Amino acid sequence: MAPTVLHLRAETKALEHRSALTPSTTKALVDAGYEVHVEKGCGKKSGTTRIFDDAEFEAAGATIVEEESWVDAPAEHIIVGLKELREESFPLKHTHVQFAHCYKGQESWDTVLARFPRGGGTLLDLEFLADPKTGRRVAAFGYHAGFAGAALALENWAWQLTHPASEPLASVTSYPNENELIADVKKSLADGEKKAGRLPRVIVIGALGRCGKGAVDMCLRAGVPEENILKWDMAETAKGGPFQEIVESDIFINCIYLASKIPHFVNVDALKAAGADRKLSVICDVSADTTNPFNPVPVYTVATTFDKPTVPVDGLEQGPALSVISIDHLPSLLPREASDAFSNDLLPHLLKLNDWRNDAVWAGAEKLFKEKVATLPSSALEK
Ligand SMILES: NC(=O)c1ccc[n+]([C@@H]2O[C@H](COP(=O)([O-])OP(=O)(O)OC[C@H]3O[C@@H](n4cnc5c(N)ncnc54)[C@H](O)[C@@H]3O)[C@@H](O)[C@H]2O)c1
């Protein structure tokens, strides 16, 4: 039987350096009998650059192919990517494994989703790839989101101490590896410690989850003592907020998975009520439910970016300046480690793609796809 061909497409989203397949998962797939085609990652057309060199994929046994060659690949090749396809309208004939962001009524969801049934293709969306027994996602980027978010929060704490209030945290860019990020954070913390005479006190809420574990690990690896880190999850927030422990910490990192309406963790009234006693100067909202009406951190309204990582909380007359980091693409700060962790978690399922309809996880993704397609307005299918 001819081998199953997986075609890793080049990403087209600006500043995306992560990859759904890595050289090591590619090698595992090739060793298992798959043929892996990898589009050149230099991103001449898209302006993005994959964190892994083409040569690393070639050494792993992949065949390097031209950017956007997936479009004309035989219909039975499975197209693997991470983020959205470029906004185009031609029908899609392949099975695509990716995050498509079109199942929750997002803007243009119908146009994006309709391309699959219009071309006879299938979407196996990575966001909803879950173990049918536990309902838990099989692969997610949470750990590195928390890790990166905590890094920026610590950097911001130190920055505020060493720069005038008029100068917000400078722009950041992706790091080639986590050791360089940790070294930078340690250096900033040392500068901050010199000014403050102490290291920060940090509260992480959602500490038992993926993002929360990453946030706690970053704090520890940067040298924040264990006793300075308050690790909260469901049990600690059951009493209902707002929480005094947040305004008494220097840094609050929110890492919860918001599933329903809950009392605010902190709000502007609580910040004002703390007056000059407030220590809190940095919030990193890793959960980034910025526009969700149930956001338990309703002290800001915009998502921030690597270019402008912070947004100030205005209107506080007493206490230190307070700013919020609400970046929704935090794992991109560490594209190598984030891709490695994600692709490794996905590997047991990637290895089943040669017979994916008989695998419960992929079959579940196809079932969801069909359910979502059934909700498409007929006008979307006619385009
Ligand atoms: N900003 C980014 O770049 C980025 C990247 C990845 C994920 N996320 C988001 O981060 C959030 C968390 O993701 P995850 O993978 O860590 O989820 P997870 O399910 O692994 O962990 C969530 C944790 O939050 C806890 N929690 C839920 N409600 C709580 C409450 N009211 N009080 C205290 N703890 C509570 C849960 O018990 C769990 O331990 C999600 O909303 C996800 O979309 C953001």
Binding residues for NAD(+): 136, 209-210, 233, 237, 257, 286, 327-330
Query: For the chain, what is the mean pLDDT?
Result: 95
User: Do 151 and 210 share a domain, yes or no?
Assistant: yes
Cα 228 from chain centre: 26
**Three-state secondary structure call for residue 252:** strand
User: Do 198 and 213 share a domain, yes or no?
Assistant: yes
User: Do 165 and 287 share a domain, yes or no?
Assistant: yes
**pLDDT score for 45:** 62
| 346 pLDDT above the threshold of 80 | yes
User: Do 221 and 183 share a domain, yes or no?
Assistant: yes
The domain that holds 247 is classified in CATH as: 3.40.50.720
Query: Ligand 1 atom closest to Cα of 143?
Result: 16
**Three-state secondary structure call for residue 89:** coil
User: Do 166 and 267 share a domain, yes or no?
Assistant: yes
Q: In degrees to the nearest 10, what's the CA dihedral of 188, 287, 172, 10?
A: 140
Distance (Å, whole) CA 78 – CA 122:
10
264 lines ligand 1 (CB under 6 A): no
Query: Ligand 1 atom closest to Cα of 212?
Result: 16
| 265 pLDDT above the threshold of 90 | yes
User: Do 372 and 290 share a domain, yes or no?
Assistant: no
User: Do 318 and 218 share a domain, yes or no?
Assistant: yes
233 lines ligand 1 (CB under 6 A): yes
140 lines ligand 1 (CB under 6 A): yes
User: Do 112 and 14 share a domain, yes or no?
Assistant: yes
User: Do 230 and 317 share a domain, yes or no?
Assistant: yes
Number of compact structural domains in the chain = 2
18 lines ligand 1 (CB under 6 A): no
**pLDDT score for 47:** 63
| 259 pLDDT above the threshold of 90 | no
Query: Ligand 1 atom closest to Cα of 207?
Result: 39
Residue ending a domain, choose from 333, 359, 374: 333
User: Do 189 and 218 share a domain, yes or no?
Assistant: yes
Structural domain of 265? 142-333
234 lines ligand 1 (CB under 6 A): yes
Give the pLDDT confidence of 172-223 residue by residue, as tens digits: 999 999 999 999 999 999 999 999 999 999 999 999 999 999 999 999 999 9
User: Do 129 and 161 share a domain, yes or no?
Assistant: no
Angle at 189 between CA 184 and CA 191, to 5 degrees: 100
Report the catalytic residues: 83, 101
**Ligand 1 mutation pick, 152, 205, 232, 257, max ligand atoms within 8 A of CB:** 257
Distance (Å, whole) CA 35 – CA 41:
18
Distance 188 CA to ligand 1 centre (A): 27
**Three-state secondary structure call for residue 92:** coil
13-27, 31-45, 237-251, 319-333: the lowest-pLDDT one: 31-45
Contacts of 218 (CB under 8 A, 6+ apart): 146, 147, 148, 150, 151, 154, 182, 185
Q: pTM here?
A: 0.90
**pLDDT score for 43:** 61
User: Do 70 and 174 share a domain, yes or no?
Assistant: no
**pLDDT score for 67:** 93
What does the pLDDT average to over 229-237? 98
